[in-house]
Amino acid sequence: MKKVHMLDVVVYVVLTISALLCLAPCINLLAMSVSGQTAIESGKVMFWPVDFTMQTFITLFKGTSILRSFKNSVIITVIGVCLNMAVTILAAYPLSRPYFWGRRTFSKLIVFTMLFGGGMIPTYTLVKQLGLIDTYAAIWLPGLISTYNMMVMRSFFENIPEDLSESARIDGCGEWRLLLKIILPLSKPVLAALTLFYGVAQWNTFMDVLLYINSAEKMNLAVFVQQMVQSQEALKQLQNVNPNEVIEVASEGIKSASTVVMVVPMLVVYPFIQKYFVKGIMLGAIKG
Amino acid sequence: MKQKSQQAIAVRAKNKHNFKRSIPLLIMFLPVILYYAIFKFEPMIGLIMAFQNFSLKKGFFGSEFVGLTNFQYIFETPIMLQVIKNTLVLGILNFVITFPFPILMALFINEVRTMWFKKTVQTIVYLPHFLSWVIVGSMCFTIFSQESGVVNNILKAITGETYPFLYKPVSWTAIFVGSSIWKETGFAAIIYLAALGGIDPTLYEAASLDGCSRVKQMIHVSIPCIAPTIIINLILKAGSIATVGFDQVYNLKTDPVMDVADVISTWVYRVGLQQMQFGISTAMGLFNSLLSLILVFTVNAIARKYDKSLW
């Protein structure tokens, strides 16, 4: 019989525990969101629902504006990612061409913005002077390009064999056609990875909404959930909607349920695109 | 001499050629130039607010210049020194304690030979990175809740008493650092795994022929080979000591722990945007940016100095 190595035991045990620790809070949250009020309040709920009920979700969808926030988050994410990707490509492609005039100067200036910036208040006054307060443009424009993501894309473009673009150019291909017909179709892995990174960032965007969006009807899911979790006000509002109806939901339950609404779209998409983001990170790692 | 000037002419001609050839690229690049000029460099000009008694009505040109008064105010007010101290304490704890975990995780995952186990573990441990601090904050409040949280349920079963973990400074700080470890360890391990994957297998073979056990191979082959990656990460993360994330603090804070939890970013948000004191909050922000810039350059300089002795 093969001898079991001590190191293997340690490795498998430690990794199993780490994986369980990563899942435990998520499972606890799910269990909370579908458990009965008395079970939650008496502290019986651990990692399995007690007195299974969907009442919390029904109350959440009927009594609060969570659906509107959900819709806002979808709008912010879909349009935001399209803008992000378009402008990131427009930045990465010229910077990846060795003959691009001013390439080194532009690169240096752009890297400098990674190390130093104006910060929260000067950016806020700028957005205010541009008249973007309380519009989604204030969310989309200041974060149009993530410089790190742009660098990853640029190094991918640089690694596409020069011969391909050279022969296309001899055939009379212009820069735009070269980009659209040759470079982009060859860059699917990096495009997928960066779409995912931008998508997650837009879905989770929190501080910018807090800073620039004032009207409650434009709030995204992240700010909605945060208000649910941290302030009792939101829960009181919930009770004001139907004062005659006794709401039989635990506050912990409703907090968990709103968080679950924000997590679920991510969990659904995550397993399908996991292979792409690992590639995306690897590209960055090789460059760095 | 003649050759040199000819070379210069050739270079100039080439540059001219490049400029002409680059015109379509420059047109393509124009939105990017505008973006960086407006949203990245204009706010740097806006930093002059730090030296002004700024009001939105008067603008940059109308507001009165006050020299270094704002900075003087920051360094003379105990509350602000407390905020700076909090930032550094949380930043250093976060940096020092979280740093080794991804390295250990990568070394462990690298030892796994069962593919399905490896893939499953990787999928699970990368996941928390994609959850926002809003969600992680909500999870912490659920888990550590005194009435219905899992941790207090267990504690109650053992000792019969509960503890307000999120409302006491020490346990709050532990939760703060713990949440960083929980969220980022797996994802940060990816970069080390990439480095481990690039190690020449013959190194392990040679070590094994020399009688090195697998643990010794880990210490004498794996770790030295990923040392450059560790150093790069160390430099990149050094700047984060001074910039404790706004989202993380904002989503974990509770009123009783504000003495240790109020950091520069949350302070700037509260005083700058909620109380409209632009001058002083910009000064604080500028101080913070400069501090992280200095940290990055210092760590980089130290790393360069020990370049030869490390590997």
Q: Which domains does chain B have, with CATH numbers?
A: 2-54 (no CATH), 69-310 (1.10.3720.10)
Q: Residues B279-303, buried b or exposed e (16+ Cβ, 10 A)?
A: bbbbbbbbbbbebbeebbeebbeeb
- pLDDT (0 to 100) of residue B311: 34
- Considering only CA atoms, give the Rg of chain A: 24
Residues whose CB falls within 8 Å of the CB of residue A270, separated by 6 or more in sequence, listed in order: B127, B130
- pLDDT tens-place string over residues A118-152: 889 999 999 998 999 999 999 999 999 999 899 98
Average pLDDT, chain B: 86
Residues whose CB falls within 8 Å of the CB of residue A207, separated by 6 or more in sequence, listed in order: B246, B247, B250
CA–CA distance from B125 to each of A17, A281, B113, B173 (Å)? 11, 15, 18, 23
Alpha carbon dihedral A267, A268, A269, A273, in 10-degree steps, equals 80
What residues of chain B lie within 8 A of the CB of A102, using their CB? 22, 26
Q: Which two tokens stand for residue B177?
A: 């650092």
What residues of chain B lie within 8 A of the CB of A200, using their CB? 130
Tell me, what amino acid is at A23? L
Pairs of residues, one from chain A and one from chain B, whose beta carbons lie less than 8 Å apart: 271
Residue A119 DSSP SS3:
coil
**CA gap A261, B97 in Å, rounded:** 32
CA–CA distance from B301 to each of A60, B118, B131 (Å)? 54, 38, 35
Q: Which two tokens stand for residue A241?
A: 């909607």
Distance from CA of A62 to the nearest CA of B (A): 21
Task: Give DSSP secondary structure letters for A81-117.
Answer: HHHHHHHHHHHHHHHH-TT-TTHHHHHHHHHHHHH--
Does A262 contact B120 at a Cβ distance shorter than 8 Å?
A: no
**CA gap B296, B193 in Å, rounded:** 24
Give the containing element (helix H, strand E) for B143: helix B133-143
Indicate the pLDDT class of residue B248, thresholds 50, 70 and 90. very high
Which residues of chain A from 47 to 86 reach within 8 Å of chain B, CB to CB?
Answer: 47
Distance from CA of B71 to the nearest CA of A (A): 16
Indicate the pLDDT class of residue A248, thresholds 50, 70 and 90. low
Does A206 contact B269 at a Cβ distance shorter than 8 Å?
A: no
- Nearest chain A residue (CA) to B254: A230
Mean pLDDT across the stretch B54-73? 81
- Nearest chain B residue (CA) to A98: B18
**CA gap B311, B307 in Å, rounded:** 7
Q: Which of B180, B150, B146, B147 is nearest to B166 (CA)?
A: B146
Indicate the pLDDT class of residue B116, thresholds 50, 70 and 90. very high
**CA gap A78, A74 in Å, rounded:** 6
- Report DSSP state, residue B52: E
Q: Does A120 reach chain B within 8 Å, measured CB to CB?
A: yes
β-bridge mates for residue B52, sequence order:
B65
Residue B107 sits at the vertex; the CA angle it makes with A200 and B121, to the nearest 5 degrees, is: 50
Burial grade of B132 (CB within 10 A; 0-12, 13-18, 19 or more): buried
- pLDDT (0 to 100) of residue B57: 74
Residue A288 pLDDT greater than 90, yes or no = no
Which bin fits B42, alpha (ψ -120 to 50), beta or left (φ > 0)?
A: alpha
Asked if residues B150 and B204 have their Cβ atoms less than 8 Å apart, the reply is no
Q: Which of B260, B93, B62, B60 is nearest to B177 (CA)?
A: B93
Burial grade of A65 (CB within 10 A; 0-12, 13-18, 19 or more): middle
Instruction: Record the pTM.
Output: 0.87
Which of A8, A18, A222 is facing B134, going by the closest CB pair? A222
Does A41 contact B282 at a Cβ distance shorter than 8 Å?
A: no
**Best residue in A4, A37, A120 for a mutation probing chain B (most B CBs within 10 Å):** A120
Asked if residues A271 and B123 have their Cβ atoms less than 8 Å apart, the reply is yes
- pLDDT tens-place string over residues A270-280: 877 777 776 66
What residues of chain A lie within 8 A of the CB of B24, using their CB? 174-176
**CA gap B179, B135 in Å, rounded:** 11
Does A252 contact B120 at a Cβ distance shorter than 8 Å?
A: no
Mean pLDDT across the stretch B116-143? 91
Does A122 contact B44 at a Cβ distance shorter than 8 Å?
A: yes
Distance from CA of A204 to the nearest CA of B (A): 5
Residues whose CB falls within 8 Å of the CB of residue A115, separated by 6 or more in sequence, listed in order: B239, B293, B296
CA–CA distance from A285 to each of A108, B102, B226 (Å)? 20, 15, 12
Residue B65 DSSP SS3:
strand
Residues whose CB falls within 8 Å of the CB of residue A287, separated by 6 or more in sequence, listed in order: A151, A152, A155
Mean pLDDT across the stretch A254-264? 90
**CA gap A23, B123 in Å, rounded:** 11
Q: Does A133 reach chain B within 8 Å, measured CB to CB?
A: no
Indicate the pLDDT class of residue B310, thresholds 50, 70 and 90. very low
Residue A287 pLDDT greater than 70, yes or no = no
What residues of chain A lie within 8 A of the CB of B133, using their CB? 206
- For the domain spanning A65-287, the CATH number is 1.10.3720.10
Higher pLDDT, residue B241 or B181: B181
Q: Which two tokens stand for residue B51?
A: 């030296």
β-bridge mates for residue B64, sequence order:
B53
Asked if residues A25 and A47 have their Cβ atoms less than 8 Å apart, the reply is no
- pLDDT (0 to 100) of residue B19: 82
Residue B7 pLDDT greater than 70, yes or no = no
**Best residue in A121, A198, A221 for a mutation probing chain B (most B CBs within 10 Å):** A121
Residue A198 pLDDT greater than 70, yes or no = yes
Does A90 contact B32 at a Cβ distance shorter than 8 Å?
A: yes
CA–CA distance from A160 to each of A183, A278, B26 (Å)? 8, 20, 21
Residue A100 pLDDT greater than 50, yes or no = yes
* A138 phi, psi to nearest 5 deg: -65, -25
- pLDDT tens-place string over residues A23-82: 999 999 999 888 888 888 777 788 888 888 888 888 888 888 889 999 999 999 999 999
Q: Which two tokens stand for residue B36?
A: 């960086």
